[in-house]
Amino acid sequence: MKSMAQLEYHYGLKVRIYPSDHQKQLIKLNSDASRFVYNEMVAIGKELWQLKQVKLPIDTVQDRIKQLEQRQNAKQMSNHFQFLEDKRIDSLAKANAIRNYRKAWKAFRKVHSAGVPKFHRKSYAWGYQTNCQYIKQKTAQTNQ
């Protein structure tokens, strides 16, 4: 048996779905929350950059920088914006939005043609990323 880390690749699926009305509401809610978290991270990043350009040690500027740096955490952002604490919103969707924002900055630093992260606009196609919740197992079943 091979462990998951020893496997050469992992499968991912892209699936077309035909959701019910209740499922459509959940998908839209999670899609909007994911986009909001990403856009909030972009806004926080822009404001932090502008505030850090101020070289004078002004107390209000320093306090605002501390507030914004704390809010870059998913839990702190949920505490600040109460609608993100809705039980129907997937916590992994929020975490993945933050991860995608950080990956966008990493890509910008590596390849400057990628550009800085920009705001995501609303689209007719709803979508968000989440992670599968598999049961813990040390080995993967492979047909050999």
Q: How many residues does the chain have?
A: 144
Alpha helices in 9-139 (DSSP H): 21-52, 59-71, 74-80, 91-110
**How many angstroms separate the CA atoms of 7 and 139, rounded?**
10
**How many angstroms separate the CA atoms of 26 and 48, rounded?**
32
% of the chain exceeding 70 in pLDDT: 94
pLDDT at 35 over 70: yes
Q: How do the residues of the chain divide into helix, strand and coil, expressed in percent and rounded to 5? A: 55, 5, 40
The CA-based angle 95-81-107, given to 5 degrees, is 35
When divided into structural domains, the chain yields a total of 1
pLDDT at 136 over 90: no
Beta bridge partners of 140: 2
* Residue 132 or 59, more confident: 59
pLDDT at 117 over 60: yes
Task: Give me the domain span that covers residue 38.
Answer: 2-140
Q: What is the pTM of this model?
A: 0.76
pLDDT at 36: 92
Q: What is the mean pLDDT of the chain?
A: 84
**How many angstroms separate the CA atoms of 76 and 72, rounded?**
7
